[in-house]
Structure 1
């Protein structure tokens, strides 16, 4: 029992550490995207998101070298089973196999097959792309602060969807933590708009309302796919994550390329290859670190903790973005902004403590 408790706690805090790395990478990536679409005059959110997603395909390269070994292993058990069936035919192997499959299916740690993993990748690839595209596109129209604040509202959607699919258990502390976070988000958002009016009027930012709507859509899509992934996968040891992400990238590359000429034709986003080495370096570094690495860590943290913990944890991007504004832009936060950021962090700590208690109770029951 003691070993199970330690394993559960170690697994949980590993998820928290991965979540911390994700928060740092995502804030840095947001500033890079904002500069790329603004100061660098390369306003191509769909193409940049498409290239970011394409990097996931590299997860499939190492798997190709394992194919021959796996084929040999599969051939050996099949020949062994054939010999058993030929020599010991009176035994009712179909009943044994059916019983084994039934027990395996009922096991919560049953490993997803390659076919099931590929199906899961296909089911979620478009939803994942929409969440990332809308969030990236919002940075072309509004500030990093506004985009980050609205993205934090995904906690509300995660809680509702998680309760619907019975992935999250509702209690007073979780509801209180979410509403505290929402109050903090509102205060930070209001302060951000006031400071934008005073120091950097929104008329210098193209269509900020469009950016806010896109960021909100990104929060909705994020809440959907985090909860549904947890519902379908459950525990991280049930899925081969490199295989999952690899096919997410491959399906996005294969299915979404026709949209590029369509956007160019209607004039929504003209197709243009990066014209300078600096642009290529920024785009590729952001793709491999801001997407390839961070999303792998994100899925690990989500599966090791819970969708709600990760969603509220991502809300920590708000104070981190504030630190970035102070250090790099000389922005001094107002009292409203500081209180709002504190409430967001408080909500995260509250739900984090509750989730830890749930993990302890679960390990005791097991």
Structure 2
């Protein structure tokens, strides 16, 4: 058993570990905000200015591109360990994924040792079921946005869809056993008020204020008043499902609290790649059906549209990897409110791009979202520090070594 450390030393170690995790989360947040803003502008330009308006096909291509997350990650890891023989590197990487998947399935930090015991079952079947479940929720949520985009107003679409932050918090309480905290509740409320101010404050429902789903998309074009209620109901279902998707991913596909950040990052990108693989192999089926029914004629983009769509897909893949890592390192609530910052960033880019100045409502609503994000950031920092302190107390009492993503052993 380890010698007991003083409370001050344990508290310092906990703060240092939480600071490392928080710094990584901040980095991936910045990457996700930048990539989402670029991807949104490119997707809107391809669909509106260049005329390649294929909603489901774009969703299929963007989600399917996530399959590249794991190979790209593997290449980066290999560059970092060039001096290691490939067979040893490969065995260690597979060992890391297998043991992390075991941790995810059992929600147990010590599940890695159990994988070597006789009779231990493979986690890959669990991952397959989880991938199907989580991808279905994500796809239906994304499709609801595309279906409602021409049925309701931009302001309604923005306000209702971005209430997914509230539903993420609502689902987090029963599914993640998250405590109801006043500071978090107030922050989520302030964020949603900010969205409502942006959507309705200027009375125009400007398309620039729309925050499309993670799959990317186009600003809505308005709707016939007779279809508005149906559009609102559809996007309401999408809002609920998107909040559920984030919580399901955290509950079913993320390692338990206390996992090293490196291990969590590697597994998040791997699971994103599984979502992409499921999309490519299964979700192509609606494409010929939509083509035959005449609802969306299949047509490959050409020329400038093809190049810009390619760049948009790559940037979207970057956003997805960063966003999944952000959820894994923090929480669905924090990530949802952080995603609302893109409303402000996209509006600012549109200001420079089109020359149309931001309205007072857009500025005020954006500031409210920033304030809410600041409140959640402070709350998340406190929770990280508290959780790390509790974990280290357990480690000190048990004498077990801390998890380290670099300590994987070969299987042979």
Task: State the TM-score, normalized to the length of structure 2.
Answer: 0.70
Q: Quick check: 1:222 aligned with 2:248? A: no
Provide the C-alpha distance between the structure 1 equivalents of 2:151 and 2:278, rounded to a whole number of angstroms.
28
Provide the C-alpha distance between the structure 2 equivalents of 1:58 and 1:336, rounded to a whole number of angstroms.
40
**Aligned to 1:240, what secondary structure does the other structure show?**
helix
Provide the C-alpha distance between the structure 2 equivalents of 1:352 and 1:106, rounded to a whole number of angstroms.
25
Show structure 2 runs of 5+ residues with no match.
1-9, 79-85, 96-101, 113-121, 208-218, 392-412
Give 1:308's aligned residue: 333
Task: Judge conservation of contact 2:36–2:315 (CA < 8 Å) in 1.
Answer: no
Match of 2:192 among 182, 203, 228: 182
Q: Quick check: 1:155 aligned with 2:171? A: no
Deviating more after overlay: 10-19 vs 188-197: 188-197
Q: State the shift of 1:45 in Å.
A: 0.9
Provide the C-alpha distance between the structure 1 equivalents of 2:137 and 2:269, rounded to a whole number of angstroms.
18
Structure showing greater Rg: 1
Provide the C-alpha distance between the structure 1 equivalents of 2:172 and 2:223, rounded to a whole number of angstroms.
35
Give 1:270's aligned residue: 297
Give 1:107's aligned residue: 108
Change (3 A) 1:132 1:28: farther
Q: Quick check: 1:258 aligned with 2:303? A: no
Q: State the shift of 1:249 in Å.
A: 1.3
**Aligned to 1:312, what secondary structure does the other structure show?**
helix
Give 1:281's aligned residue: 307
Change (3 A) 1:331 1:52: same
Task: Judge conservation of contact 1:168–1:308 (CA < 8 Å) in 2.
Answer: no
Give 1:94's aligned residue: none
Task: Judge conservation of contact 1:158–1:224 (CA < 8 Å) in 2.
Answer: yes
Which runs of structure 2 are paired with 1:167-206 in the superposition (5 Å)? 167-191=177-201, 193-194=203-204, 196=206, 205=222
Change (3 A) 1:156 1:109: farther
Q: State the shift of 1:353 in Å.
A: 0.8
Task: Judge conservation of contact 1:155–1:178 (CA < 8 Å) in 2.
Answer: yes
Which runs of structure 2 are paired with 1:1-366 in the superposition (5 Å)? 1=10, 2-59=12-69, 61=71, 69=87, 105=106, 107-108=108-109, 110=111, 113-135=123-145, 150-191=160-201, 193-194=203-204, 196=206, 205=222, 209=228, 216-232=236-252, 233-235=254-256, 237=263, 240-274=267-301, 276-290=302-316, 292-366=317-391
Q: State the shift of 1:288 in Å.
A: 1.4
Q: State the shift of 1:315 in Å.
A: 0.9
Task: Judge conservation of contact 1:31–1:144 (CA < 8 Å) in 2.
Answer: no
Deviating more after overlay: 127-136 vs 342-351: 127-136
Provide the C-alpha distance between the structure 1 equivalents of 2:284 and 2:15, rounded to a whole number of angstroms.
47
Higher helix proportion:
1
Task: Judge conservation of contact 2:158–2:195 (CA < 8 Å) in 1.
Answer: no
CA deviation string 1:268-301 (max 9, x = no partner): 2111121x221111111111111x2111111111
Q: State the shift of 1:123 in Å.
A: 2.1
Task: State the TM-score, normalized to the length of structure 1.
Answer: 0.78
Q: State the shift of 1:203 in Å.
A: 11
Provide the C-alpha distance between the structure 2 equivalents of 1:171 and 1:8, rounded to a whole number of angstroms.
20
Figure out how many residues of one structure are paired with residues of the other and give that number.
333
